[in-house]
């Protein structure tokens, strides 16, 4: 059964355009409530980021859930991973986050978590969609769901994040600039690190409902770089609007992406004798990360792009660590989803244990030059339908040898094929990528014409 509303990361779109409308959200809340209530489960946590539309959708979801006879626990503005954590700790049947992550304020979306704080299984999402087709009804008045607020939600999550660094982590003498993207971490992330002893400089921590992710946060770290240098800070932490992504900046102003953060955490766990299994990356993880783990003797596999697929691989293999270069890092031994604040605590733990700076810790991995060219077509096409294209890819791989990688990946939202080439020699990488993109455009254009 194909899904009509749920994508790889919930339901997302422009506010006021279907399905991101109040009437849809009431029906969605009712449908989800009906599905969870079938199992006798009747309590759902709702959190949101700082978008102005979050108030409207929070009320709509609350009304729909109440109509289905489900109680609601409201957290107010809270990071996505915090809602996953609170869902587990309150033994709720599910968690709902109202957020469009790193998108601008005029987008919004809905993410669901299971009782275990993980993404919903496909069959539950399909059951909710099937329920959406039915006429909405309301339970009798004596069975209506009640709503209450978790008044200490932020404090609970702050203590949890601190605890993931171990009982003796002391950041006294460390100066950190924290960019909260004017998002859901504005009232929690700075306190996590200041209570651990660090000197904290806050930026983008004054949300007004409209400025979330606006030239700040994990997707726009330039301002963080400048302030880290101006403040002579030891490092910078950039989170995205809902707090599940982490990008860092070292004391020299160099940006440290998700691949490097993944390497630092894995290597620190290995040095402490705490690592087991392997690491899950994605098709977009830099080839330099794969090489670094090979040198350390750490198994590495690639999942499809999306933290959902990283989690699937981690669960199947019973591994502890995975992530994406965009900054989604999953520490499965600590939490059930990607968590930017928890990941940052792990990097600070690695610094404290080793006595090395962030700049020094990232030196064990060398990112290789990566070039990507988008090939736009008139309509979507299956890449495995062309033997000629397969031969062109094989020729590009042969030119790079063991020192590079080729990836052709169709966009999930538009008729575009992304041609990506990595290797040790930037000039060669650029030439191979350009030649392969030209061949791919010619071959695929002929296929769709």
Contact assessment for residue 367 and residue 288, using Cβ atoms and an 8 Å cutoff:
yes
Q: How far apart are CA 233 and CA 174, in angstroms?
A: 8
Q: Which residue has the tokens 């299971």?
A: 114
Contact assessment for residue 18 and residue 68, using Cβ atoms and an 8 Å cutoff:
no
Beta bridge partners of 395: none
Q: Is 66 a catalytic residue?
A: no
352, 353, 357, 360: CA torsion to nearest 10: -170
By CB neighbour count within 10 A (0-12 exposed, 13-18 middle, 19+ buried), where does 38 fall?
Answer: exposed
Joined tokens for residue 124: 């539950």
* Count of other CB atoms within 10 angstroms of residue 55: 12
* Strand order, beta sheet including 94-98: 11-14, 107-114, 94-98, 43-48, 71-77, 147-149
Beta bridge partners of 420: 372, 407
Per DSSP, helices labelled H in 151-242 are 153-163, 189-195, 222-231
Contact assessment for residue 279 and residue 299, using Cβ atoms and an 8 Å cutoff:
yes
Q: How far apart are CA 348 and CA 64, in angstroms?
A: 42
Q: How far apart are CA 129 and CA 138, in angstroms?
A: 18
Contact assessment for residue 340 and residue 327, using Cβ atoms and an 8 Å cutoff:
yes
Q: How far apart are CA 241 and CA 347, in angstroms?
A: 20
Q: Which of 93, 101, 114, 285 is catalytic?
A: 101
Element (H, E) at 215: none
Beta bridge partners of 119: 113
Taking alpha carbons only, the member of 397, 382, 383, 381 closest to residue 435 is: 397
* Count of other CB atoms within 10 angstroms of residue 295: 9
Catalytic residues: 101
């Amino acid at each position: 059964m194909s899904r009509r509303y749920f994508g790889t990361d919930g339901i997302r779109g422009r506010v006021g355009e279907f399905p991101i409308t109040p009437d849809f959200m009431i029906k969605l809340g009712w449908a989800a409530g009906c599905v969870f209530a079938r199992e006798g489960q009747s309590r759902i946590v709702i959190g949101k980021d700082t978008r102005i539309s979050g108030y409207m959708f929070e009320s709509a979801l609350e009304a729909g859930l109440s109509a289905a006879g489900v109680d609601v626990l409201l957290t107010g503005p809270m990071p996505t991973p915090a809602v996953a954590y609170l869902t587990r700790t309150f033994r709720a049947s599910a968690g709902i986050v109202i957020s469009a992550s790193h998108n601008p304020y005029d987008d919004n979306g809905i993410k669901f978590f299971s009782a275990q704080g993980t993404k919903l299984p496909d069959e539950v999402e399909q059951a909710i969609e099937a329920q959406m087709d039915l006429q909405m009804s309301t339970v009798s008045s004596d069975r209506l769901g009640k709503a209450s607020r978790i008044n200490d939600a932020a404090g609970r999550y702050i203590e949890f994040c601190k605890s993931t660094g171990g009982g003796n982590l002391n950041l006294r003498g460390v100066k950190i600039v924290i960019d909260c993207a004017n998002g859901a971490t504005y009232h929690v992330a700075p306190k996590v690190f200041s209570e651990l002893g660090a000197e904290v400089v806050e930026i983008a921590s004054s949300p007004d409902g409209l400025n979330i992710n606006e030239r700040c946060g994990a997707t726009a770290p330039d301002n963080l770089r400048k302030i880290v240098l101006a403040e002579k800070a030891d490092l910078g932490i950039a989170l995205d609007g809902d707090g599940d992504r982490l990008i860092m900046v070292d004391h020299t102003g160099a940006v440290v992406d998700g691949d490097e953060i993944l390497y630092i955490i894995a290597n620190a766990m290995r040095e402490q004798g705490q690592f087991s299994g392997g690491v899950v990356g994605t098709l977009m993880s830099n080839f330099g990360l794969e090489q670094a783990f090979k040198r350390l003797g750490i198994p590495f596999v690639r999942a499809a792009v999306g933290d959902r697929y990283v989690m699937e691989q981690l669960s199947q293999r019973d591994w502890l660590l995975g992530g994406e270069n965009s900054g989604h890092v999953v520490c499965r031994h600590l939490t059930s989803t990607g968590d930017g604040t928890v990941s940052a605590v792990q990097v600070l733990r690695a610094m404290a244990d080793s006595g090395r700076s962030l700049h020094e810790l990232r030196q064990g991995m060398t990112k290789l030059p990566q070039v990507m060219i988008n090939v736009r077509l008139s309509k979507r096409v299956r890449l495995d339908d062309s033997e000629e294209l397969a031969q062109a890819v094989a020729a590009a791989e042969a030119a790079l040898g063991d020192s590079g990688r080729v990836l052709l990946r169709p966009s999930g939202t538009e008729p575009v094929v992304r041609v990506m080439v990595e290797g040790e020699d930037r000039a060669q990488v650029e030439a191979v990528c350009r030649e392969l993109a030209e061949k791919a455009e010619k071959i695929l254009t002929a296929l769709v014409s």
